[in-house]
Structure 1
Amino acid sequence: MISPSANDVLAKQNYLIPITKRPELCFLRGEGHYLFDQDDKAYLDWVQGWAVNTLGHSPQVMQQALIKQSAQLINPSPAFFNQPMLELAELLCENSKFDQVFFTNSGAEANEGAIKLARKWGQKNKSGAFKIITFQHSFHGRTLATMSATGKEAFAPLFEPKVSGFTKVPYNDLAATEAAIDGQTVAIMLELIQGEAGVIPATAEFVAGLDALCKQHNLLLIVDEVQTGIGRTGSLFAYQQYQAAPHIMTLGKGLGGGVPIAAMVIDKAVSCFDYGDQGGTYNGNPLMCAVSAAVLQQVLAEGFLAQVNRVSDYFCRQLAVLAKEFGLGTTRGKGLLLAINTGQLSAPQIVELARDAGLLLNAPREDSLRFMPALTLTEQEVDQGMALLAGVLTTLTAAEQ
């Protein structure tokens, strides 16, 4: 295969609908923690598909699962059971508090399913209640309903009229949440760490309070773990670090480790879809389920999550060193979903300069860097990335003096 030149990338990008600003790079291969562009330049990847590549780029275990399953069965149709679908559902339920799974292809689709299920449950069990309380600065997806549920200010004027029935209140504000509950409220839906808002964790008191409110008012508690699930925060699921018993959990991103699969996982007590209410052509596809099961088994292996937490602690300590040297903020987040404020420095500018230096980062806000490396990250790779980041910060601070 002949590698595309920069001019080729420029010319062929016109065939794509522009939906985001992309640098003039074309990545041709990935190995573990590194991506390689058309010039074979290596980049240490601390974005990993937006917290998607649980085990890094193209791990052997995923390659083997794809090869093995593709030789057996790829798509029998969602009208039938298939073995990888059943095995993955069992893995998820046996390692969580939940009882049943509905597989989807994206986190937004999983959240759409959660919204539908909550409304159906409200029709059947709560006199038609349909309103869902969500939170300011939240992010739940880009379908019309999930954009309506999202508390991202930039979404507010888009694609009107949106789906009604979502009440947005301040995050980590229990009193405001309680005040928003009325007779038509059926559920409370939240990210346990708001990723797109800049990696803002829910407090323990807030989540425990939401759980109590749901019990008091007969509401469903929905946790959107599309970004936090599958070991990302140092436990298999983030809800396991809180005193709460959600009725519905949504998963995506890390569930497939890089292939398109997501899930809605629920308590059997709230399972109320009638035949035909929910579906999807590729949902529960055996190829994707087999890969996801291989990823999940790696995360469940003895010592895996302990190593995630050890590297997380080391990562935070090294960020603290940079913060002290360059006047950055404190580190926030859990596991290997972390962020730091950049103070007076422009986070998007840091991202651009870091990319030129061979380090891929994300800036969810003008003053925040987000770190989402593969969960297999080592201390040596932390050191490498910190050295690159320190070089960028040195250049920026020198230019401002």
Structure 2
Amino acid sequence: MSEHLMNTYGRQPVTFEKGSGVWLYDTDGNQYLDALSGVAVNGLGHAHPKFVAALNAQISRLIHVSNIYQIAEQARLADKLAEISGMDKVFFCNSGCEANEAAIKLARLYGHNKGVESPEIIVMERSFHGRTMATLSATGNRKTQAGFEPLVSGFIRVPFDDLEAVKQVAKRKNNVVAILVEPVQGEGGVHIPADMRSYMQGLRKVCDDHGWLLMLDEVQSGIGRTGTWFAFQHTGMVPDVMTLAKGLGSGVPIGACVAKGAAADTFTPGKHG
């Protein structure tokens, strides 16, 4: 192990040098069943021939250009995500926390555009949205936040799967602009609402009644993890904003903030990128 790596992970004493499908192989030749999947990332497994061929073809043609130009493959993926989700527009980034940062900024800008001076977002206890300052502050885990105070303000925390708690916030606060919630909490311990359909439809109604955005963090639950493309597709409602990463790239760094309706038109040139 290199002494020049920052100590941000409790690394195990094993080094993997190759993988094939669901199998990993370490430098001593031992074979492992990869049940961790890169922490819920490698949806296609390791070294899938079609995936490798697609990456090689793109790299041999073009690695990177700025978003100030048209990018054909980016447009194709945006169209596909819109098709399978029923959403309207996509902002691409590099990771799940960046996708959630985009959603948080979008919600605040949406609020300011409506004349809300200090917009706030309802978030959940035991949630996890990332480790940047805004996503860390939105996360409902004190252990994750410890040592990084002062946290970013503008978040109201309520218990997960407690629709009444959300309604109580709506009664006493007039500057809420959005709810940010994981349909299935991942890092918090894999918590599933007792009745996901009822809970999500209830959140949808509260948002509709008050002009809020319903924003779903599907970084872990999205891209087929729950039997549909996205977890919200089990619930009979559609969010205003959804964030994706992990399985979207299957190991290639990518994130996406996907939006619908007024939320999709909130960002304008210079506001995010």
1:184 to 158, 168, 175: 175
Q: What is the one-letter code of the residue matched to 1:272?
A: T
> Partners in 1 of 2:174 and 2:147 — Cα distance?
29
Structure 1 distance, partners of 2:19, 2:230, is 27
Match of 1:52 in 2: 41
Counterpart pick for 1:171 among 160, 163, 167: 160
Look up the match of 1:273: 267
Which consecutive unaligned segments of at least 5 residues does structure 1 have?
1-8, 280-401
Matches within 5 A, 1:221-300: 221-270=214-263, 271-279=265-273
- Quote the Cα distance in structure 1 between the aligned partners of 2:125 and 2:69: 40
In structure 2, C-alpha distance between the alignment counterparts of 1:245 and 1:26, rounded to whole Å:
42
Q: What is the aligned counterpart of 2:12 among 23, 29, 32?
A: 23
Scaled by the length of structure 2, the TM-score of the pair is 0.95
Q: Distance in 2 between matches of 1:55 and 1:176?
A: 39
> Which of 57, 62, 65 in structure 1 is aligned with 2:54?
65
Work out the CA distance in 2 between the residues paired with 1:116 and 1:150: 15
> How many angstroms apart in 2 are the aligned matches of 1:178 and 1:256?
36
Give the Å deviation of 1:129: 5.0
181-190 or 194-203, larger mean C-alpha shift: 194-203
Shift of the 97–126 alpha-carbon distance from structure 1 to 2, 3 Å rule, reads farther
Root-mean-square deviation over aligned CA pairs: 1.1
Aligned to 2:67: 78
TM-score with structure 1 setting the length: 0.65
Residue equivalent to 1:368: none
The match for 1:92 is: 81
Q: CA deviation at 1:187?
A: 0.3
| Amino acid in structure 2 at the alignment position of 1:170 | P
How far off its partner does 1:126 sit?
A: 4.6
Checking the alignment, whether the CA contact within 8 Å between 2:118 and 2:154 is kept in structure 1 is no
Cα separation, 2, equivalents of 1:164 and 1:227:
25
| Corresponding residue for residue 109 of structure 1 | 98
1:276 counterpart letter in structure 2 = G
Structure in which a larger fraction of residues adopt helix: 1
Identity fraction in percent: 44
The answer to whether structure 1 residue 199 and structure 2 residue 190 are counterparts is yes
- CA deviation profile, 1:335-355 (whole Å, cap 9, x unmatched): xxxxxxxxxxxxxxxxxxxxx
Structure 1: distance between partners of 2:116 and 2:13: 54
Number of corresponding residues = 268
Q: Deviations over 1:94-146 (max 9, x none)?
A: 11120000000000000000000000010112533510000000000000000
- Point out 4+ residue stretches in structure 1 off by more than 6 angstroms: none
Residue type at the aligned position of 1:118: A
User: Residues 261 and 200 (structure 1 numbering): CA distance in 2 closer, same or farther, change over 3 Å?
Assistant: same
Aligned-pair CA distance for 1:155: 2.4
